Amino acid sequence: MKPNKQHNALLQEIRDILEQARQKVATAVNSAMVFAYWEIGKRIVEEEQKGSERAEYGTYLLKELAKNLSNDFGKSFDARELRRIRQFYLSFPIRDTVRPELSWSHYRLLIRVEDKTVKQFYLKESISQHWSTRKLDRNISSQYYQRILSNQSNKEIASETNELSKLDFIKNPYVLEFLDLPANLTHKEKDIEKGIIAHLQTFLLELGKGFAFVAQQKLVRTETSDFFIDLVFYNYHLKCFVVIDIKSGKLSHQDIGQLDMYVRMFDEREKSKNDNPTIGILLCADTDNVVAKYSVLNDKKNLFASKYQMYLPSEEELQQFIEKDLE
């Protein structure tokens, strides 16, 4: 007797139940291990503090524990991992601040962040935005927090997860190292656009919260001319379209005027009455603060110019860029 639709439906329901159960078990196991590591870290720190020579005693203690635990539980408890577990407790000494929603892999990344404010920002974002460890790792490596900071004040950054604004979604610079284009060459705009489409998922991660891809080379037709917008996205947090115009050169008044025109046209011809005003981002190889200051960018709250970089900048390079941008 061949399986019928009723049988297939039942089979799918059972599969869904089992899959949900597996996920719950995995979540429960993961949460139990995170709190177990916190308890282990606490005991190690407490034991170290009993030693007369803390540093020497701590090194000896970890080596001995690693040897014993590796024999009992395998190589996952080597001295390096025990140092991470100890640092985990030192970074989160209050047990209630440890969130069960995050995995040990998340916490291994978070303990690398030294600044407490920045660490809390990444922790909250990881939970609220359901960041995978891969996304958290990339955002830490590309200084996601600091790039938003270049467009906001410290006060605004601190309340980012509570009050959403346009600035919460605009970075400067955008880091496009995933395109695998040489960092020391001038690239054609069509090559950058083509690379973004080829790595669309990663680019969406770089854009940030709530972005969905809408169109490439979006045609906007008027009575006399046809215009093509490089990239169009929709942000369901801000409830608005986001148009991106790519320029491989330095920011110019002509580029800003063109972006302003695109946004006006898109609002008039594509935006529905339920959408908020369209945001325009000019993605260029280099920004010019003087041009930005004496253009519509300085007056309009929905137009932005951001630099793109083909490599992950060091923390020192990024700090210099942010200071220059804020000046």
pLDDT digits (tens, 9 = 90+) for 125-171: 999 888 999 989 988 988 888 887 766 544 444 444 444 456 667 88
Q: b or e along 202-218 (b: 16 or more beta carbons within 10 Å of the residue's beta carbon)?
A: bbebbbbbbbebebeeb
Average pLDDT over the chain, rounded to whole? 83
> What's the pLDDT at 164?
46
Structural domains of the chain, with CATH = 5-102 (no CATH), 165-315 (3.40.1350.10)
Confidence of residue 290 (pLDDT cuts 50, 70, 90): low
> What's the pLDDT at 55?
57
> What's the pLDDT at 67?
86
> What's the pLDDT at 127?
92
**pTM for the whole thing?**
0.68
Taking residues 98-106, report their average pLDDT.
93
Taking residues 267-281, report their average pLDDT.
92
pLDDT digits (tens, 9 = 90+) for 191-211: 999 999 999 988 998 898 889
pLDDT at 97 over 70: yes
Chain centroid, CA 255 distance in Å: 28
